[in-house]
């Protein structure tokens, strides 16, 4: 291999590295300030199977055998173990992972704030700034912002979207996933 071949290969590598750095810089320069409102979630949300198990355990019904208890005692036992319908049940969750200095994130802020207020009976809306809290980005495997992740009430990830997502697109996706979001 000649000296010119080595130079060409090194130049090609240098161009690739510079292109990658330029792309990273462009992503970092999309900056504006995002208002902190109802969707700002600085507290960690546990979506592990352990927390999902806790919620399903609270709804389980234990049925005693007839040999051990009378039918009246059994009915009383069943009523005591069924979750009260007025208790807060977990809701599906929309998590937006972005940054307070990101143009698409800033464009989504009023949409997410409005959805957090008007659809709070149907699903939760949370925002994590992964520039301020990079562990959230790693936790959710975020590579590009904004990223929206749709979770079922049991914590199962249903869908993931990257980039700007309008109000109608978000509500349409919930409906497509079989989640009631009202009118």
Residue pLDDT, tens place only, 48-59: 333 333 332 322
Percent of the chain at pLDDT above 70? 58
Q: Residue 134 carries which DSSP code?
A: H
Q: pTM of this prediction? A: 0.55
Catalytic machinery residues: 102, 105
pLDDT at residue 85 greater than cutoff 60: no
- Collect all residues with Cβ–Cβ distance below 8 Å to 95 and sequence separation of at least 6: 41, 45, 126, 127, 128, 140, 148, 149, 151
Distance CA 14, CA 10 (A): 6
Query: Could you tell me the strand order of the sheet in which 124-129 lies?
Result: 124-129, 93-98, 147-151, 157-162
Structure confidence at residue 80 (pLDDT): 44
Annotated domain spans of the chain? 1-30, 49-53+90-176
Comparing CA positions, the residue from 46, 45, 34, 47 lying closest to residue 129 is 34
Whether 147 and 96 have beta carbons less than 8 Å apart is answered as yes
pLDDT band at 101 (very low <50, low <70, confident <90, very high): very high
* pLDDT tens-place string over residues 6-41: 777 776 776 765 665 555 544 443 333 333 333 344
Burial class (CB in 10 A: 0-12, 13-18, 19+), 72: exposed
- Bigger pLDDT: 71 vs 7: 7
- Bigger pLDDT: 84 vs 181: 181
Instruction: Quickly name the fold that domain 49-53+90-176 has.
Output: Glutaredoxin (3.40.30)
- The tokens for 85 are 């319908």
Whether 59 and 82 have beta carbons less than 8 Å apart is answered as yes
pLDDT at residue 71 greater than cutoff 80: no
Q: How far is CA 52 from the centre of its chain?
A: 15
101-140 burial code (b ≥16 CB/10 A, e <16): bbebbbebbebbbebbeebeeebbbbbbbbbebeebbeeb
Percent of the chain at pLDDT above 90? 50
């Amino acid at each position: 291999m000649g000296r010119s071949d080595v130079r060409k290969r090194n130049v090609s590598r240098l161009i690739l590295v510079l292109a990658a750095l330029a792309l990273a810089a462009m992503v970092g320069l999309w900056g504006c300030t995002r208002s902190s409102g109802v969707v700002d979630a600085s507290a960690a949300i546990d979506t592990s199977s352990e927390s999902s198990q806790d919620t399903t355990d609270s709804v389980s019904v234990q049925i005693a055998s007839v040999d051990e208890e009378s039918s009246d005692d059994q009915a009383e036992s069943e009523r005591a173990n069924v979750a009260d319908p007025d208790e807060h049940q977990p809701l599906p969750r929309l998590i937006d992972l972005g940054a307070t200095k990101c143009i698409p994130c800033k464009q989504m802020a009023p949409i997410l704030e409005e959805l957090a207020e008007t659809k709070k009976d149907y699903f939760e809306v949370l925002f994590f700034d992964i520039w301020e809290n990079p562990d959230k980005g790693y936790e959710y495997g975020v590579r590009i912002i904004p990223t929206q992740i749709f979770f079922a009430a049991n914590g199962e990830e249903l869908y993931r979207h990257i980039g700007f997502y309008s109000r109608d697109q978000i509500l349409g996706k919930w409906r497509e996933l079989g989640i009631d979001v009202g009118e």
